[in-house]
Structure formats: C-alpha cells, structure tokens
A and B are shown apart, each in its own frame.
Chain A
C-alpha cells in the first residue's frame, strides 16, 4: 500500500505541469458563462452557439485590433455556486469580457469577482438588483424587470380589468424579483392581489398548491418563473378545471413550454419583448439566417440575441477605442448611442442599464403559434 503515495504525488505534479503549459499567446479572449447543461441547457447552449458564430465572423475578417478572438466557455449550470467557480476560472483564463449568464442569480453571483478583476460582463439577467452595485464592469443587454412589471400591471388593471389576481413565482432571484416588481406595480395601480405564493422549481407536482388557488376563484394566475415549471403549471391548472387566465412572464416564452403544456397551451398569455422571428431589423434577419445555416436550428429565445448584442457592443467598442484596456472599452460602451443591435438600438445608462423596452402580450393559439394581442 505504501507504494501508492509516490504515484499519487507524481500524478499531481504531472497534471499541474500540463495546465501551466497553456499560456496565452496573441489572442483576445472572450468568456462565455452560461448554463450549458442543467435545467436551462437549451438557453445556455444557444448563447454559447451565438457567441461562437459572431466570433467566427469577426475572425474571418481578421479579428479585432489585429488579433484573433478566442472563446472560453464555462458552464455555470444555472446555479450560483457554479457561477462563482466559473467567474474565478474565467478571470484566471485572462478574458477581457464575459458574455452571460442567462439567469440573474448566476450573473449576480459572479458580478463581484469580475468587478474586482476588472473584467467586463454583459448579461441578459433582468433582476433589478443587478445594477444596484453600480459596478463599472457590468452592462445589462436586456431590459429590467421593473419595465416588464409596469407593462404587466397596466395590462392587468387597465387592459384586462382583472379583479382577483394570483401571483406565483419560484425561488430563483430573477423570478422572485420579477414577482416583487409586478406586485409593487399592481399595488400602485390598486390591483387586487388575492394570493402570492412560491413553488419549488422541478418538483413537478403542483396540484396541491393549485387546488388551494382554485378555492380562491381567481381571474388570472400570473407566473413569473421559468418555462420548465410554467408549462406544467398550465397543464395542471387546466386539468384541475381552474377557469382563470394564465399569464406567463418572459421566461415562459420557450418552445418547451408548449410541449409541456400540450393541448392546455392554447389560450395562455405570454408577456415578452418581440420573439426573434418578428424582429424588424436587417441584421437580425441576417443573424438568424447565419445561425440557422450553422446550427440547423433557431436560437432558443430572444435572450440569446440580447447577449449577442452585448458581445457586439463590446467588440464594437474595442474597435472604436482601439484599446484592450477594459476601463477604456467600458467608457466606449457608455458613449454608444442607438448602436444598431439585433434586438433594437443599444444605449447604456451610466449604471450599465440598457435603455428601452417594448413589451408585448401574445396569446398562444391552438397550433402553438403566437398572436399578438396587446402592444
């Protein structure tokens, strides 16, 4: 047995030697932090694919600042702890900027590390809390929950005139934050919230909670969480014969929602910014064509495109400022005004917030297609 230890020590030495050999050459590294596996894998993979597509296009034209761009991906599995590990790893890799992550929680867990290391970070996370730290390294490439919440409250109270509103969320930071924002916006408009609850993501069986809601006879059930649970909630709502409308927040807008809900998907309302296929911009159309050509699929959702706009803003700023210094690049990004993005004009506020909005409500039709019912 005693012979084991030298072997063990030797293997340790070998692997450490292997790793330290990979020293960066003349490339600019861009990090991707996304949930490549796990619950939100199809969103994470779509972000990773999109980033690699854009980077390939840049490299084909000679890269930026005369250097090739290299993509380093790290899978945060949509969890905060893995995100913290990813952040350390990407910083150690020497990336200039990190694209992602998809969920607000994973983004927030990594924020401090990027800020301390001076690494730029751009994410589609919509929690309002993401910009409260005022880190100069952070740029949101989507629109905040508070904007969506105001739209939702207006639609509920002025548009649909719902009298009894149920608000559900899961435990994630994004969904909690969105639900809180919606509650706040509804209260400001004197909306009548009869129940606020949380479901545990991934537990599949929501019948007990829905039965409780049934006894309150609501007009609408609003769910701020993700499609994996939203689809099941909708299916079980219909199964239990609860007559209320079902309105899903932006993260329910995913093809898997329709598959999970099955026939019950019909009549669901989804609130989101425009879906990729109805974006009116030419670069958006071109991007979708290129994406389809390379991966033979469509991007999972608008969120991947938001992240792509973040990446494009970073690369654009590198080119205009002719600098690799992240402070200078950040300053360049703040100077952008209506930079033509795939998801619309990109302008950043001083605290890293992306200005704009433009939410819509879709109603899911029997054939799973969307009909815009309110802008």
Chain B
C-alpha cells in the first residue's frame, strides 16, 4: 500500500508538470488552431534563464524565499516576452495561411529557440541550483515527499485553479472564450483579437516557465534539448484531455503522469512509452476529440 501511494505521489508530481506545460499547448490551440511546437523549447529556455538569474543575482548556495520568488517572477516575465515575440514574428504573419504552414513555422521557431539556448549556455548538461528549495524530506508512514514536490503540487494546483477562475469568471476570460469560439464574431463584438492572443501567449509561456523551473529544481540536470521530451509528453496530455479544452489539459497531464508511474511500477519499465501511446490511440479511436473534447462538426 505504501508503495502504491508513493507511486501516486511520483505520478502526480510529474503529472502536474505535464499539466502546466499542456495548458500552454491547449490555450494556443483553442484560440489559434495551431500546435505550438516551440512551446517545449520555451520550457527548456526557462530552466536556463532561471539558472542564470539565480546565479547572477543571488550567487550559489542561497536558499531564501525572496530568491525563489524573484527567480520565478523574473523568469516568467522573460519567457513571456519571448512567447509574445514568438507569436508576433512567427505566427501572426501566418494567421490566414494554410494551417500546415504555421506548423512548419512553429517547428522552425522551436529549432531557433533550442539552438539559441545551445549557443548561449553551451551544449553540455548544466546543473540547476537545486538548493533554491530547502532539501527537507517528509516521511509520512512509508511515503516520502520532498519540499520541492510539495511546491510543485501546491503551486501548480493553485495556478490551475486560478486559471480556471480567470477563464470562467472574468471579463478577459470571457473574451478569450469568445475568441476561441469564433474570431470574426468576437471581432464584431469589439474584442481586440490580437490583444487576446497576446494574453494567451503570456499566460501559456509563464506557466511553461514555472514548469521549466520546477524541472530544473527537481531533476537538477538541464540540457538545451530537454524541451522536446517534456513538450511531447505535455502535447500528448493535451490531446488526451481534448486539445483546446483547459480542464482537459489538466486532467490529461495528471492522468498521463499517474498512468506512467503505474505502468513503470507494476507492469514494465521498458515498455512504458509504448503503453502511453497505445492508451492515447485507444482514447482517440473511441473518443476522436479526446476525453473532454466536444464533438465539433467541420466547418463547410
């Protein structure tokens, strides 16, 4: 039983990271019908930005609340700016182009970010200052939870709840939903579509930045190309939940993390990825638009 609960903790930790990243994919998709392939690389970028911010401003070996808050704020702002630039330069000119052209542009943008990270920080693995969080470990019964894990679980659920209320209860959230349903109609209602899209990219990139920092703090080793792996898993999570659907991305992320932990723990380490994608394909065969995705008729 302890082992089972421990696996749930393991799964929820990685699952919330996936969920945070998946939100970025799903929000952009919901509004622009675009798979933002560069999003995973933004996550990797954040880990490196966080590393630099931390070592430059605070120096190594310092654990303080101010440092943590400052690193998270700085990084989120910087990465959000990159996200907005990304949309301006690589996606906006293609809004009326064939959909696949925007996909290629996104792939190209991912390549640019990834290689920029490599040129700036070098091709070798860098060690993220994991002392940013205290190394406290709690043992509850037979289950072990670290401070970093608690932070990951706590902050990501808080952010997701906040996002849910923002989307459903605020004026801006209503505007976002309106743009997602019909851009032209939203425009006619006086909504500034460009501004909404900018907000989407700010939120998505900032959430990705939080995930990137957590990945650094929890796993320590960060590489310029790690964004691909987290990006792909998060993208799969978003698709599982129904891409474009915000609660779907959260559900998909947690489900994917838990499923992976259970498969690895009880069935097979070697075939974990295969099980993941078989699950995805099975979900798609029976629910072609994901678990929470609505059935949409193609526009004629």
Contact = CB atoms under 8 A, between A and B. Distances in A.
Contacts of A41: 123-124
Contacts of A212: 3, 264-266, 269
A202 B224 CA distance: 12
A203 B229 contact: yes
Contact of B14 (A42, A205, A211, A228): A205
B293 interface: no
Given A239-B137, A241-B139, A205 B219 contact: yes
A356 interface: no
Nearest to B129: A262
B127 A260 contact: yes
Scoring A39, A208, A240 by chain B CB atoms within 10 A of each residue's CB, the highest score goes to A208
Interface string A256-288: 100110110000000000000000000000000
Nearest to B124: A41
A231 B221 contact: yes
B3 A214 contact: yes
Nearest to A204: B219
A263 B135 contact: yes
A197 interface: yes
A211 B14 CA distance: 14
Contacts of B13: 207
B9 to A, nearest CB: 8
Scoring B13, B215, B219, B273 by chain A CB atoms within 10 A of each residue's CB, the highest score goes to B219
Interface string B264-297: 1110011001000000000000000000000000
A39 B226 CA distance: 11
Interface string A89-115: 000000000000000000000000000
A211 B10 contact: yes
Interface in B3-34: 3, 6-7, 10-11, 13-14
A117 interface: no
Scoring B11, B221, B260 by chain A CB atoms within 10 A of each residue's CB, the highest score goes to B221
Contacts of B215: 204
B177 interface: no
Contacts of A214: 3, 6
A164 interface: no
A211 B6 contact: yes
A232 interface: yes
Majority SS of interface residues in chain A? Answer: helix
B276 to A, nearest CB: 12
A259 B127 contact: yes
Contacts of A209: 264-265, 269
Contacts of A208: 7, 10-11, 260-261, 264-265, 269
B117 to A, nearest CB: 14
A20 interface: no
B52 interface: no
Nearest to A203: B229
B146 A239 contact: yes
Nearest to B118: A37
B92 interface: no
Interface in A221-255: 228, 231-232, 235, 239-241
A199 interface: yes
A38 interface: yes
B144 interface: yes
Contact of A198 (B124, B265, B266, B270): B270
Contacts of A190: none
B46 interface: no
A239 B14 contact: no
Given A209-B269, A211-B7, A240 B135 contact: no
A361 to B, nearest CB: 25
Contact of A262 (B11, B130, B146, B260): B130
Nearest to B14: A205
A16 interface: no
Q: Which 7 A-B pairs have the closest CB atoms?
A: A208-B264, A207-B10, A208-B261, A204-B219, A259-B127, A215-B3, A212-B265
24 contacts: A39-B223, A41-B123, A198-B270, A199-B269, A202-B223, A202-B226, A204-B221, A207-B261, A208-B7, A208-B264, A211-B7, A211-B261, A212-B264, A212-B265, A214-B3, A215-B3, A231-B220, A231-B221, A241-B137, A241-B139, A256-B221, A260-B127, A262-B130, A262-B220
